[in-house]
Amino acid sequence: MKTNFTMLGGLSIEEFLRNYWQKKPLLIRQAFPQFNGLLDRLQLFDLACTEDVQSRLVTQRHGQWQMQDGPFKATKFDSLGKSKWTVLVQGVNEHLPTAAALLKNFSFIPHARLDDLMVSYAPKGGGVGAHFDSYDVFLLQGSGHRRWQISAQQDHTLVEGAPLRILQRFQSEQEWVLAPGDMLYLPPHYAHNGIAESDCMTYSIGFRSPSYQELAEQFLVYLQDRVCFDEMYADPDLRTQRHPSEISTHMLRQVEQIIRQIQWTKHDIANFLGGYLSEPKPHIFFDPPTKPLSCARFEQAIQTGGVAMALKTQILCHNDVVFINGMAHAVGKDAYRELRSFADARKLDSNMSLTRETLELLYLWYIDGYVVPIACKHIDK
Ligand code: SIN
Ligand code: CO
């Protein structure tokens, strides 16, 4: 892997992973030297007013916190007066090609861990209060300046009754003012508080860590569709029992034996994980082409211009299985190699010689709106 990665302040990826990732914060001055943001505040407000975009507005008035979920009316942000406020828009990478391109810089972390790019705007004094997140985050400063205060404190008591998670007793241990292009990495559960020093936009590249509880529950949901027992409970040798209200040991044993037959393999775990982690979030809808190209024209188009994943598409791969937006496709070795390159780079270049299996899958996915020939320029959908 590359060393002296500018965005990691001269650290190699290995050094960053060994010494900082999930361990301790890292401030990187000028991680992205020319960076001043990808959209302006009006474009962000537009997104916050859009139906299939997740957004929140946090306001602080006389020390009281309030939170509202979007989508908002277009005039909402003109009427916020003197309160300190922040608007936060999730999944900007699902809507803006430049945001998806920014995320590619973080591909040294597996795609299975990536959540999304959230962008916030706050006027001077705005912020979401001192809190901690349960995921890793890179806080990249766009336009304006933000003061970040951080603390390794173990006291995670939250303000009771507040509509968002605010730490009751935040004790800043270190603080910096971040300028455009500066970036702060924080591991999970590290307390932080960001206050806009001026009109300020911050880009949060967040990485998900599903809780074991969530994984276990979802795995049971996955298994539920795969257990198959033909027979029914039977007790031809039933005996009388003194207390009819008691569940007999005999019944218990029989059911226990059946339940113990529920088994799973590594293959089930991989299948579950690939499906679960590539599943689109509930608000996501795809845009299938209104006048789809024929299969032959599609193949011609990708030969000429290449093919890209739609911005909302997630592909994960494991052992000759390709998971796209929650669905699994078991493929041959060559198709697997081709589709894995596609998933790594989120695109395939023009003039690639691809197997028939890959071409057929790509066409199916094109019809569903999951992939787009680059020449069609619909990848911003
Ligand atoms: C923000 O952008 O205002 C908040 C980001 C965070 O604290 O995680
Ligand atoms: Co945070």
Q: Is residue 277 part of a domain?
A: no
Q: Choose among 174, 200, 169, 170: nearest CA to 186.
A: 174
The average pLDDT across 69-95 equals: 93
Q: Secondary structure of the chain: what % helix, strand, coil (to 5)?
A: 30, 25, 45
In the structure, what pLDDT confidence band is assigned to residue 83 with cuts at 50, 70 and 90?
confident
Structural domain range at position 369: 295-376
Eight-state DSSP code of residue 150: E
In the structure, what pLDDT confidence band is assigned to residue 81 with cuts at 50, 70 and 90?
confident
Q: Which residues contact 162 (CB under 8 A, 6 or more apart)?
A: 65, 129
- What's the total number of domains in the chain? 3
Quote the ligand 1 centre to 197 CA distance (angstroms).
14
Residue pair 200/126 in contact (Cβ under 8 Å)? The answer is yes
Q: b vs e for 332-363, b when ≥16 Cβ sit within 10 Å of the residue's Cβ?
A: eeebbebbbebbeebbbeeeeebbebbbebbb
pLDDT, tens only, 207-235: 999 999 999 999 999 999 999 999 999 99
Boundary-marking domain end, from 224, 247, 264: 264
User: Quick one: 33 and 142 in the same domain?
Assistant: yes
Q: Which residue type is seen at 293?
A: L
Residue 140 has what pLDDT? 98
User: Quick one: 47 and 85 in the same domain?
Assistant: yes
User: Quick one: 299 and 186 in the same domain?
Assistant: no
Q: Is 81 left (phi over 0), alpha (psi -120 to 50) or beta?
A: left
Atom of ligand 1 nearest to the CA of 186: 8
Q: Choose among 200, 265, 259: nearest CA to 233.
A: 259
User: Quick one: 329 and 233 in the same domain?
Assistant: no
The average pLDDT across 57-85 equals: 91
Q: Choose among 168, 200, 205: nearest CA to 86.
A: 200
User: Quick one: 196 and 236 in the same domain?
Assistant: no
Q: Is residue 182 part of a domain?
A: yes
User: Quick one: 256 and 305 in the same domain?
Assistant: no
User: Quick one: 195 and 218 in the same domain?
Assistant: no
Structure tokens at 342: 């596609």
User: Quick one: 203 and 218 in the same domain?
Assistant: no
Integer Cα distance of 135 and 192 in angstroms: 13
Q: Is residue 300 part of a domain?
A: yes
User: Quick one: 134 and 57 in the same domain?
Assistant: yes
Quote the ligand 2 centre to 365 CA distance (angstroms).
35
pLDDT, tens only, 255-310: 999 999 999 999 999 999 999 999 999 999 999 999 999 999 999 999 999 999 99
Residue to probe by mutation, ligand 1, list 44, 90, 118, 131, most atoms within 8 Å of CB: 118
Structure tokens at 262: 């529920």
User: Quick one: 199 and 227 in the same domain?
Assistant: no
Q: Is residue 280 part of a domain?
A: no
Instruction: Record the pTM.
Output: 0.93
Counts of helices then strands in the chain (DSSP H, E): 9, 17
Quote the ligand 1 centre to 88 CA distance (angstroms).
8
CATH assignment of the domain containing 120: 2.60.120.650
Q: Is residue 282 part of a domain?
A: no
168: how many CB neighbours lie within 10 A of its CB? Answer: 12
204 lines ligand 1 (CB under 6 A): yes
194 lines ligand 1 (CB under 6 A): yes
User: Quick one: 153 and 53 in the same domain?
Assistant: yes
Rounded to the nearest integer, the mean pLDDT of the chain is 95
Q: Is residue 271 part of a domain?
A: no
Q: Is residue 283 part of a domain?
A: no
User: Quick one: 17 and 144 in the same domain?
Assistant: yes
pLDDT for residue 378 is more than 60: no
Phi/psi at 158 (5° precision): -100, 155
C-alpha R_g of the chain: 25
Residue 1 has what pLDDT? 46
Q: Is residue 198 part of a domain?
A: yes
Structure tokens at 280: 């689109």
Residue 230 has what pLDDT? 94
pLDDT, tens only, 301-321: 999 999 999 999 999 999 999
Boundary-marking domain end, from 190, 207, 224: 207
Boundary-marking domain end, from 207, 223, 240: 207
Indicate which ligand has the atom closest to the C-alpha of 134: 2
